[in-house]
Amino acid sequence: MLVDDHAILRDAVRAKLHDESDLEVVGEADTIDDAVELAARLHPDLMITDIAFRKSGGIQAIGRLRRASPGMHVLILTQHISAVWKRAAMGAGADACVAKSSPFEQLLDAIREAIGRMQRGSAADRSARFGAPLHDLTPREIEVLIAIGLGSSSQEMAKRFGLSVKTIYKHRSQLMRKLGLRNAAQVTRFAIANGFTTAGDDTPASPMRTDPD
């Protein structure tokens, strides 16, 4: 199943996949909302989707898609992929992330690898390994999670994201409640243990297209 708000891209990917005898495009959508509805009805093996939509997009869209069809695998095909963004998407349940600028062969390899996982476990296993409902976090909460893991203060995050310190406190409180964490030290350990950052990583995070707050 293909999901993208650019018909030309969907046409190009569909035409390429048509040449692969073991793959078939069973449906298309141009919004996340339509994709959720279609996935619930068709239950495809795999969805290839962008998540950079103005409405209902972002990392949290991955959780919506997976809940619509629990056995479905999700491959993100998007314009820009940073290492931090990829870790967040994979933690939220994506099976693979491929840049739109990549050769088609790379997309094809990712498709076949994701489908091959159906014999070894569902996409739900990925979130289970992270031990928390990451798909419930908003894109901004994931950014704050990563920044705390990197050792950033609330004042530094406010400056980096163009928000007030009060708004940063709100996002920090919400993500801690959702993850069952009590303090910044636990958030830091969680971020490192789940691959959002490493103990030696000091690169500031600005991984995702997000809403203003």
Residue 82 sits in a domain whose CATH number is 3.40.50.2300
| Cα-to-chain-centroid distance, residue 181 | 22
- Strand stretches in the chain, DSSP E: 2-3, 28-29, 46-49, 73-78, 96-99
Cross-strand pairs, 73:
46
3-state DSSP helix/strand/coil percent for the chain, to nearest 5? 50, 10, 40
- AA identity, residue 44: P
Residue 175 within a domain? yes
Q: Based on the domain organization, do 122 and 144 belong to the same domain?
A: no
In this prediction, residue 86 carries a pLDDT of 80
Residue 156 within a domain? yes
Q: Rounded to 5 degrees, what angle do the CA atoms 139, 142, 147 make? A: 130
In this prediction, residue 49 carries a pLDDT of 94
Instruction: Count CB-CB contacts under 10 A for residue 101.
Output: 9
- Whole-Å CA distances, 139 to 62, 96, 122, 142, 189: 11, 18, 24, 5, 20
> What pLDDT tens digit does each residue of the chain (213 aa) get?
999 999 999 999 999 999 999 899 999 999 999 999 999 999 999 999 998 777 766 777 888 898 899 889 999 998 877 777 787 788 778 888 999 999 999 999 999 888 876 655 544 454 444 444 566 777 788 888 888 888 889 999 999 889 999 999 999 999 999 888 888 888 888 877 766 665 444 444 333 433 444
Residue 25 within a domain? yes
Q: Based on the domain organization, do 59 and 25 belong to the same domain?
A: yes
* C-beta separation of 138 from 56 below 8 A: no
Residue 34 within a domain? yes
How many domains in the chain?
A: 2
In this prediction, residue 17 carries a pLDDT of 94
Domain of 149 in residue numbering reads as 137-193
